Structure 1
Amino acid sequence: MRAVQITEFGGPEVLQLVDIPIPQPAEGEVLVKVRRAGLNFADTHQRHNQYVEARSLPLVPGVEVAGIREDTGERVVAMCGTGGYAEYATAPEALTVPIPDGVTDEQALASIMQGLTAWHLYMTFGRVAPGESVVVGSAAGGVGSLAVQLGKALGAKVIATASSDEKRALALELGAHAAIDSGPESLTDRIVAANDGQPVDVVFELAGGEVFEASYNALAPLGRLVVYGIASREQNEVRTGKLMRTNRQVIGFWIQPLLDRPEMVGPPLQDLFGRIAREELRVVVGATYPLAQAAEAQRALAERRTSGKLLLDPTA
């Protein structure tokens, strides 16, 4: 089968199209003929071996796929962990979910990683109550575009940040109360101004570095900063005394451990599928790249030239 494989860590050029054997499912796993594979920003970190979890080589990247389950013929979406950038992938049966009628492969792929992330940002980690103000970073991206809509549906006041006029316009179209430039300079002031001059209750933060500091400084007392990415690769430290004086919270969120708890996957995913089928939630699907263009797809993702959910098509 055709697959994209990494044999050394580095830039996008290490993503090489190769021909390798079809993987064989182990006990408790299923084989999926991939129709679409999802791209995530974390894939770019894995390529450098700079993600939360270290990887070994050779590696076929790609944590999520949509396609046909070989043993049952069902249309499914699955969390495969690795191996998604390929014509076939194996995945744990417990993390392989039938896609209901009324939901496309693309919509299902946006739901299983980005959708679950957005859902848990609100429900589990941010514990957002109706009427609270929420800052959604990278609001035109796969997680951000869903988080803006979920926030509106849950009664939150959503302040979106994005890097261009076009992306900010999309966030407003999706239901954001306000949309501001995501650049770190004077970001605290822009956040507070967008919240009618008041500090905000919750920030969903995925950049790190200066953006983390600016977001933390925009928090109200009892505010929560939920960290779910380090896109800048610049890590931050918070002094405990400052936390105590302000009664603020900094909460770390990595979705991978949640996948071992079925109750944190199945019910939220069914909620998301239901919202999509009822057209209460719009999935923003970005570009779909042929498998051979995985390197270009990751470049576009890393350079923030994209909006919505990016996909690879192994059949192209």
Structure 2
Amino acid sequence: MRAIQLQEFGGPELLQLVELPAPAPGDGEVLIEVSRAGLNFADTHQRTNSYLAKAEVPLVPGVEVAGTRTDTGERVVAICGNGGYAEYATAPAALTFPIPDGIDDGTALALLIQGLTAWHLYKTCARVQPGESVVVHSAAGGVGSLAVQLGRPLGAGRVIASASTEEKRALALELGADVAIDGAAEGLTERLIEANEGRPVDAVFEMAGGAVFDASFDALAHFGRIVAYGIATREQNEIRTGKLMKTSRTVAGFWFTHCLGRPEMVDAALADLYARAARGELRAVVGATYPLADAAQAQIDLAERRTTGKLLLDPRA
């Protein structure tokens, strides 16, 4: 089968198209003929072995796929952990989910990791209360574009989006944000408060780290919450306990991996997301689909924030 493999950690040029034997499913696993593989920002960290979970080479990247179970012929989406950038992948049966009729592969992948992340940012981490203001950074991205749309249904009173370009801010407004602002760190605190009609904000979903995190933290109201679910800048932050007490603010972290093995955190939430999509209430923004051989370019475009929505690889192209 055709696959993308890393023989050593480093730059995107190390993502090489190779021929490998198709993997054999182990106990409790299924074999999937992959129609689409999802790209995630974490893939760019894994390529340099700078992700939270350390990897070993040789490695076929790709944590999620959509395709067909070879044993049943059923259309499924699955979290495979590794091996998704290929024509075939194995995945635990417990992390393989049927794709409902009327849902395409791109939508199914967008609602899996990104959709569940957005859902848990509201419900599990920030625990947004009715009428509260919510800031969604990177609002045109895979998680952000869904978090913007989930704001009102999950109780937010005002959804403030940030994005890096006018085009992306226009998309955020189209998806339901009340206001969309420039997400650059300089002056961000003041822009966030102004966007919230002069008041500090209640909740922030943040995935950049560094100066953006600090500026967002400073825009929080008393008892406000900021949830870190990514470190795209690779710049980590430190918060002193005295500052937390002085401001009565909360800092939370979210890593989707901790939902795995907890069906109560996945099954009902995913069913809710699929139902909203089927009713036309939730639109998965599916961005570019790259041929498998262009995996390196896909990761470059993702890391340099040239993209919108969910990015896919087509192993058949």
Regarding TM over 0.5, the answer is yes
Q: Does 1:298 align with 2:299?
A: yes
Aligned counterparts of 1:72 and 1:267: Cα–Cα separation in 2: 24
Do 2:207 and 2:230's aligned partners in 1 also have CA atoms closer than 8 Å? yes
Question: Which residue does 1:143 correspond to in 2?
Answer: 143
Question: Which residue does 2:252 correspond to in 1?
Answer: 251
Aligned counterparts of 2:217 and 2:287: Cα–Cα separation in 1: 30
Do 2:128 and 2:155's aligned partners in 1 also have CA atoms closer than 8 Å? no
TM-aligned CA deviation for residue 257 of structure 1: 1.5
Do 2:3 and 2:85's aligned partners in 1 also have CA atoms closer than 8 Å? yes
Aligned counterparts of 1:40 and 1:198: Cα–Cα separation in 2: 34
User: After superposition, where does 1:253-292 map in structure 2 within 5 Å?
Assistant: 253-292=254-293
Do 2:137 and 2:205's aligned partners in 1 also have CA atoms closer than 8 Å? yes
Do 2:205 and 2:226's aligned partners in 1 also have CA atoms closer than 8 Å? yes
Q: Does 1:23 align with 2:23?
A: yes
Aligned counterparts of 2:155 and 2:199: Cα–Cα separation in 1: 18
Do 1:286 and 1:308's aligned partners in 2 also have CA atoms closer than 8 Å? yes
Question: Which residue does 2:117 correspond to in 1?
Answer: 117
Counterpart amino acid of 2:165?
S
Question: Which residue does 1:215 correspond to in 2?
Answer: 216
Aligned counterparts of 1:59 and 1:193: Cα–Cα separation in 2: 47
**Aligned pair count?**
316
Cα displacement string for residues 48-93 of structure 1 (whole angstroms, at most 9, x for unaligned residues): 1011110011111100000000111000000001100000000000
Cα displacement string for residues 94-139 of structure 1 (whole angstroms, at most 9, x for unaligned residues): 0000001121111000011100000000011110112100000100
Do 1:159 and 1:177's aligned partners in 2 also have CA atoms closer than 8 Å? yes
Counterpart amino acid of 2:167?
E
Aligned counterparts of 1:263 and 1:105: Cα–Cα separation in 2: 24
User: After superposition, where does 1:13-52 map in structure 2 within 5 Å?
Assistant: 13-52=13-52
Do 2:192 and 2:219's aligned partners in 1 also have CA atoms closer than 8 Å? yes
Question: Which residue does 1:103 correspond to in 2?
Answer: 103
Counterpart amino acid of 2:100?
P
TM-aligned CA deviation for residue 154 of structure 1: 2.2
User: After superposition, where does 1:221-232 map in structure 2 within 5 Å?
Assistant: 221-232=222-233
Question: What secondary structure is seen at the aligned counterpart in 2 of 1:263?
Answer: helix
Question: Which residue does 2:56 correspond to in 1?
Answer: 56
Counterpart amino acid of 2:221?
A
TM-aligned CA deviation for residue 153 of structure 1: 2.0
Give the unaligned 5+ runs of structure 1. none
Q: TM-score, normalised by structure 1?
A: 0.99
CA RMSD of aligned residues (A): 0.6
TM-aligned CA deviation for residue 259 of structure 1: 1.0
Question: What secondary structure is seen at the aligned counterpart in 1 of 2:66?
Answer: strand
Do 1:152 and 1:176's aligned partners in 2 also have CA atoms closer than 8 Å? no
Q: TM-score, normalised by structure 2?
A: 0.99
Give the unaligned 5+ runs of structure 2. none
Aligned counterparts of 1:218 and 1:5: Cα–Cα separation in 2: 43
Aligned counterparts of 1:21 and 1:262: Cα–Cα separation in 2: 32
TM-aligned CA deviation for residue 263 of structure 1: 1.0
Do 1:46 and 1:55's aligned partners in 2 also have CA atoms closer than 8 Å? yes
Please identify runs of 4+ aligned residues in structure 1 that moved more than 4 A. Answer: none
Do 2:77 and 2:99's aligned partners in 1 also have CA atoms closer than 8 Å? yes
